[in-house]
Amino acid sequence: MSDLVTLEVEGGIATLRLNRPPMNALSAEVGQRLMELSREVSERADVYGVVVYGGEKVFAAGADVKEMATKSYAEMADYSQLLQDFTRAVARIPKPTVAAITGYALGGGLELALACDFRVAAKNAKVGQPEILLGVIPGAGGTQRLSRLIGPAKAKDLVFSGRFVSADEALAIGLVDEVVEADEVYAASRARLEPYVGGASVAIRAAKDAIDRGLEVDLETGLEIERMLFHSLFATEDREIGMKSFVENGPGKAKFEGR
């Protein structure tokens, strides 16, 4: 079993820790391991949220360019599929996810962060999509997730130029959600997830699904997705628990079972 990405679960929160010094380059093996662990945390009932973390010094400086540099056009057809598959796997974790960004999150590293629901960055973080400087474009979701998050004009600026963005600018344009001191990034990321531990996990899964799928379709289709997911929750024990508790004790006092 590869230790290039490790999994720890504590207090209902899982940490997927990138562990490929010195820069956490995202090799094929790292991508495969991210997919395996994304499936595991998706299925575990004791996990309510997930932090993706690269450690105290760097999140991930990008895909492994040395691994790609000698590949042929035909070989890259398969390799490029892997790049999108591991970011898809993280994006499809049906629980709240936070990218805890220290140091560099560049290229595939930023694309991995974009696959999470939230991003917490250190004040010294540098993020960007520098693939254009190599004569290529982002291939792990950057052109799509970045433009959906910050808008097409700002996304084009970052992708066309390949420039690095400071934490403060990233916060100003909505690329990250919070900026803290470097030694507080992991704790701040966990703090974002702690309110969900023991919460209505089935409903949170439905809410994430409705928002993410709704972004890809027209409004009427999105409303139908919402309606279907909304009424499906009336088949759950958590809905019964939540409404009974609200009627008897007021809001915010329900003890959910995750069923």
Q: Which residues are catalytic, by number?
A: 111, 131
Distance (Å, rounded) from C-alpha 244 to C-alpha 59? 44
The amino acid occupying position 195 is P
Distance (Å, rounded) from C-alpha 204 to C-alpha 224? 18
Question: In sequence order, what are the residues at sequence separation of 6 or more whose Cβ sits closer than 8 angstroms to the Cβ of residue 218?
Answer: none
Alpha-carbon 46 to chain mean position? 19
Count CB neighbours of 214 within 10 A. 17
Question: In sequence order, what are the residues at sequence separation of 6 or more whose Cβ sits closer than 8 angstroms to the Cβ of residue 111?
Answer: 83, 87, 129, 138, 140, 141, 142, 145
